[in-house]
Structure 1
Amino acid sequence: MASTITVDFTKGIEGWTPGVADYGDPDEPSETGYGWSKLPAPLEGKGYFLTVHNNSDDVLTYVKHQVGGFAPGAKYNLSFSMTYATDASADCAGVGGSRGNDIFMVAAAAGDEPKTVKQADGRYRLNLDRGNNAEPGTQGKVLGRLGIEGLGCNGGEWAQATRASTEAIPVTADKDGKLWIVLGADSGYEATNAWFLLGATVQVKPQ
């Protein structure tokens, strides 16, 4: 039977663990920060604040959470929508790319816990096939670009948006009937990006 997982970060972030990936030792991201914080005006309430400075041309900022209640070893298809707040415009250029157009909102799912792991080439990546930047993977999809049309190029003007993908991610629940979901932003913008996760909806359908 199909089901829906509803995530509301305006009510709290307990159980959601943050992380970063897609970098090497020489260009490890800096200025990382996470927390449940007040939203900038004119928005009201709180959200999951995430910030990172991209010291290369690629960094993934993500949060992960394990959910249960599924049949052990059963196969499911998951599709995601994500709501967030940003002051990045969809219409502006930037350092090493466009913040609004070169940061991609992404989601992933797996039976095993997603972790940032050092690879043979020295890069730190998630231990699942999320894809990279605008390219999807077998365990991850791109929901859309960060930028919101109509915002100014100088930042400071905040708004919220929802991005979604109808492409399903196949995942197999573990022996305890649990699986992991990942929400994040994959950045090709070579500077600082700060944003707020507000919520997500995950549609779960048995295969």
Structure 2
Amino acid sequence: MNTRNKKIALTLAATILAGGASSFTNFNSSDAADLNSSKEIHILPMKVSEQLNNKLKNVKLRSQIPSIVIFNKHLSDKEYKDLEKKIGKFHIKNRYSNVLEGFSANLTKRQIELLNNISFVSLIDLDSMISLDKEITLTSDFVKNSDQWSAGFADYPQKDRSIYKLNYSFKSLPKEININQKGLYLSGVNRSDDLFMFVKKKIDKTSKLKPNQTYLVTFDFDIATNAAKNSMGAGGSPGESVYVKAGVTNQEPKSILNKDHFYQMNIDKGQQSQEGKDAIVLGNLSKSTSADQTYELKTFNNKNRPFLVKTDAKGELWIILGTDSAFESETSIYITRTKITLKEI
């Protein structure tokens, strides 16, 4: 196997993984004894990178190594649990589900060898081989204006649009939050068993993004919500049944009218609690304690589950934040702060 560039081209990971086989060499005697006692372990075909292979030559079976594991399919939570049963417990540092599928974790040499024999594992590499270079941080505190965020609504029929009471504005926050501060206000009445409310923002070369570049994206934002914890309503709970989603795409997210005269998104955001390839679920609108109708701030982020995306030829991306509701009544929220971090890969 030829020495690969230290920056893994993540979008080509599925191609890289098909590269030639290699083998372990120069194990010390204690390693050899351990391997001989593990009849189920077969070293070839090798899915381990050359860099990781070199690292494994001089460590014990129980030594932990920062690793990244790439799959050739999506794994559900249950499948991750099944994987732990096969190779032993491990603590996931980051879980990837866009551009590539997989996770990063500190794995023992034995776990890496067991992963090497699993059919849906495509590549195992040193976690440090994914180099995080330039970092771009974009914040909006909405002190003066909406900071070029705009809004939209989807998952509702064209007929009788007025009864959905769709509303977006840049307005003062509730007094219990801070009446002197403003935020992005979204409100709508779900009458079709589903309603998606969202804000979006374009980022491009003016933010120093590069064309055709892969970025690791993390979201960190606050929503003022008045949805009481564990309350019930039509179709579900006003808190637990309204799912907060965040995503990033290289095409503008739009609500478009389909042939059935129904407004739907032109990106894959998933439906309600389900995720799509362009958006992930970060939680719900349920407040932490109070059962009244007052607002409280709730923070959402994906720091343990970064989002991977590649810019287009113009170096552009679109950020989207929103709520996907199964609660068949009114939802009104304020987005009070956003922080988007993009790390070049």
Indicate whether the TM-score tops 0.5: yes
**Counterpart position of 2:108:** none
Read off the aligned partner of 1:97 and give its amino acid letter: G
Q: Distance in 1 between matches of 2:260 and 2:213?
A: 34
- Which stretch shows the higher mean deviation, 114-123 or 101-110? 114-123
Q: 4+ residue runs of structure 1 moved beyond 4 angstroms?
A: 26-29
Q: CA deviation at 1:179?
A: 0.8
The range that moved more, 137-146 or 20-29, is: 20-29
Where 1:131 maps in the other structure, the secondary structure is coil
Q: Could you give the per-residue CA deviations for residues 167-191 of structure 1, whole angstroms, max 9, x where no partner exists?
A: 2322221222221101111111101
Which residue does 2:156 correspond to in 1? 23
For residues 136-169 of structure 1, what are the alpha-carbon distances to aligned partners after superposition, in whole Å with 9 as ceiling and x for unaligned? 11111111111112122x42x1111101223232
TM-aligned CA deviation for residue 81 of structure 1: 2.1
Q: Does 1:127 align with 2:266?
A: yes
Q: 2:300 aligns with which of 155, 158, 163?
A: 163
Find the aligned partners of 2:160 and 2:246 in 1 and give their Cα distance: 24
Q: For the aligned residues, what is the CA RMSD?
A: 1.8
Which of the residues 184, 194, 197 maps onto 1:61?
197
Given candidates 132, 137, 140, the residue that maps to 1:4 is 137
The structure richer in helix per residue is: 2
**Number of the residue aligned with 1:85:** 224
Aligned residue in 2 for 1:138:
277
Aligned to 2:166, the other structure's residue is in SS state strand
Distance in structure 2 (CA, Å) of the matches to 1:76 and 1:178: 11
Which residue of 132, 135, 146 corresponds with 1:13? 146
Residue deviations 1:89-135 (CA, integer Å, cap 9, x gap): 12211122100100011111111111112345654221111112111
Q: Which amino acid aligns with 1:80?
A: F
CA distance in 2, matches of 1:9, 1:54: 27
- Give the conservation status (yes or no) of the 8 Å contact 1:91–1:149: no
Query: 1 CA distance for matches of 2:301 and 2:330?
Result: 24
Q: How far 1:26 moved relative to its partner?
A: 4.7
Could you state the TM-score of these two structures normalised by the residue count of structure 1?
0.90
The residue identity in structure 2 corresponding to 1:136 is E
Match of residue 123 from structure 2: none
> Which position in structure 2 is the counterpart of 1:206?
344
1:206 and 1:191 mapped to 2: Cα distance?
41
Q: Percent identity?
A: 30
Query: Which amino acid in structure 2 is aligned with residue 15 of structure 1?
Result: Q
Question: Residue 27 of structure 1 contacts residue 55 of structure 1 at CA under 8 Å; is this kept in 2?
Answer: no
Deviations 1:7-30 (A, max 9, x none): 223442141111001223357461
User: Are the counterparts in 2 of residues 31 and 52 from structure 1 also a CA contact under 8 Å?
Assistant: yes
Cα shift at 1:205: 2.0
Q: Which has the higher strand share?
A: 1
Q: Structure 1 unaligned runs (5+)?
A: none
Q: Which residue of 2 aligns with 1:174?
A: 312
2:305 alignment partner AA: E
Q: Which has the higher contact order (CA 8 A, sep 6+)?
A: 1
Unaligned runs of 5+ in 2: 1-133
